[in-house]
Amino acid sequence: MDFSEQLRLFRERVGDRRAAALILTGTGQTDTAALLLAALQPQRVAFLLTPETSTFPERVAQQIGQSPDLNWLRKTVSYTDINQVYRELRAIIEEWSAVPRADILVDLTGGTKMMSVGLAKAAYVLGLGTIYIESDYQQNRPVPGTQRLLDPPDPYEVFGDLEANEAARAFNAHDYPSAARIYADLARRVPEPDRATYAALAQLAQAYIYWEAFDLNAAAQTLQRLLAQPLPEPLRSQAAVLQQQQKALASLVQTIRAMAQPAKALATLANLDAVLPLLGSLHANALRREAQQRYDTAALLRYRCLELMSQHRLATHGVLAEEPDLDALKRRVPDLDQRYRLIERAAGFRERGLQPNPNGTYNPITLLNGYMLLAALGDPLMQRVQPADIRNRSRARNHSILAHGFRQIAAAEYRDFVTVVEQLLDQFFAIGQRSRNEWEGLYRFVTV
């Protein structure tokens, strides 16, 4: 059977399929490459050649009745050096960087066994498409005209559940970047219905990545897109929590916007419903870092929780910690300065009182000064904790390399610091008459 008839039959089997880019290996016979070039009509072509097959592109072009294309890439390799095959394949991928990798097809039909194995492994790692021409055989020779194009199935179709288990382990260990990467790869490579499941899990992991980084707009939008479609089975039981988390994120976005407006800052901080989503985000993030034994980061987040609780309680007294107007407060509480000096002495500080700067303004209120002021005001948050306790147990955080020091926080130091944070949190929720357990559950990221 002449080649033109083989090509006609092959085109009938291929149909309208076309290729954006095609990588071929040089061999001793040209039929396979000629069939693929003529039927798939790739826009880009590359050849991996050995010194023995250096004239392969010319012979292929001659068989399909055309001149060799000057844009065809030619890479010469040694069929015994698999690393050289990898290097030249990398050079091709870099030159074709504008082409999505899944649109680049690698022909595994020809070439030496070593080269074919290397190309198959590289294609798997790089996410390239693979094709193979199968034929009927008689007396160990292919029967002309029986050639048909096959796409070797992706191993993920069988082994995808192993990768999914690894992604779930990463997700539940709060390694959301790794989980997102694996789930997205699975979503690209496996068939439905698993594809939609893994795409949704990748989207949730990405939303949590944004949330942990306090990229709140991106987190809210990503979670909203996820909830706009039917949730797959692994997330269906978590739908109510995810919807509540999306609402909390939307509320948090509004709070951050309001805090950027000076006229709204004080009223926003005084609003417990506006503060709780930010406090919940900080606290839950601290718990995740604590579970990973990243105590320095966890302490930093816990310290911010202390600051936020103080800022909220001060705001209920009409004081904006960033720009305090203590003159108005002292007019309402005439002996406040004397009370504050007593608290300073009890905490072991030199008495300074609540005196303004020479220009009549007051400095922003630091964390410890805020709690001393709350104690002087008789705020219920300070019923069970003394400013000295906060000062003493915060020292480990202050010595952290992420704060003002040059060392890591030990687990015992962290636990000692956490004790005072937990006491204040319990009192904070008692004052607000809210359920701390429900609040913690809302901001705890779901597991898969």
pLDDT band at residue 157 under the 50/70/90 scheme: low
Return the minimum-mean-pLDDT range out of 13-27, 151-165, 333-347.
151-165
Give me the pLDDT at residue 156, please.
63
For residue 432, give the nearest of 247, 320, 275, 248 by alpha carbon: 275
Residue pair 144/43 in contact (Cβ under 8 Å)? The answer is: no
Is the pLDDT at 155 greater than 80, yes or no? no
| pLDDT score of 162 | 82
Structure confidence at residue 403 as a pLDDT band (50, 70, 90) = low
Query: pLDDT > 70: what percent of the chain?
Result: 95
Q: Give the confidence band of 151 by pLDDT, cuts at 50, 70, 90.
A: confident
Dist. CA 209–CA 332, nearest whole Å? 46
pLDDT at residue 363 tops 70: yes
Distance of alpha carbon 336 from alpha carbon 330, whole angstroms? 6
Which span out of 232-236, 314-318, 397-401 was modeled with the highest average pLDDT? Answer: 314-318
Q: For position 407, what pLDDT does the model report?
A: 62
pLDDT at 49: 92
Query: Which tops the pLDDT comparison, 262 or 114?
Result: 262
Q: What is the pLDDT of residues 195-230, one digit of tens each?
A: 999 999 999 999 999 999 999 999 999 999 999 999
Q: Give the pLDDT band (50/70/90) at residue 191.
A: confident
> Is the confidence at residue 402, as pLDDT, over 70?
no
Helix (H) or strand (E) holding 396: helix 395-398
pLDDT at 4 over 80: yes
At residue 153, does pLDDT exceed 90?
A: no
> Per-domain residue ranges for the chain?
3-152, 157-237, 253-443
Judge whether residue 61 has pLDDT over 80: yes
* Phi, psi angle pair for 372, to nearest 5°: -65, -40
pLDDT at residue 380 in the model: 97
Rama region for 235: left / alpha / beta (φ>0; ψ in -120 to 50; rest): alpha
Indicate if the pLDDT at residue 399 is higher than 70.
no
* pLDDT exceeds 90 at position 124: no
Q: What is the mean pLDDT of the chain?
A: 91
CATH number of 3-152, picked from 3.40.50.1100, 3.40.50.10770, 3.40.190.10, 3.30.420.40: 3.40.50.10770
The tokens for 318 are 């009409």
pLDDT band with cut points at 50, 70 and 90 for residue 396 = low
Compute and round to an integer the Cα radius of gyration of the chain: 33
Q: What is the pLDDT of residue 400?
A: 62
Q: Which of 110-124, 138-152, 251-265, 407-421 has the highest mean pLDDT?
A: 251-265
Q: What's the pLDDT score for residue 301?
A: 95
- Helix, strand, coil percentages in the chain from 3-state DSSP, rounded to 5: 60, 10, 30
The pairing of strands 73-76 and 44-49 is parallel
- Confidence tier at 138 by pLDDT (50, 70, 90): confident
Instruction: Using the structure block, give the residue that is written with the tokens 């687990």.
Output: 411
Confidence of residue 398 (pLDDT cuts 50, 70, 90): low
Whole-number pLDDT of residue 395: 67
pTM recorded for the entire structure: 0.74
Q: Where are the alpha helices (DSSP H) in 237-348?
A: 239-259, 262-270, 272-291, 295-316, 326-332, 336-346
> Mean pLDDT over residues 233-250, rounded?
95
Of the pLDDT bands very low, low, confident and very high (cuts 50, 70, 90), residue 180 is very high
Q: Give the three-state DSSP class for 25.
A: strand
Tell me the torsion sign for CA atoms 297, 300, 302, 305. negative
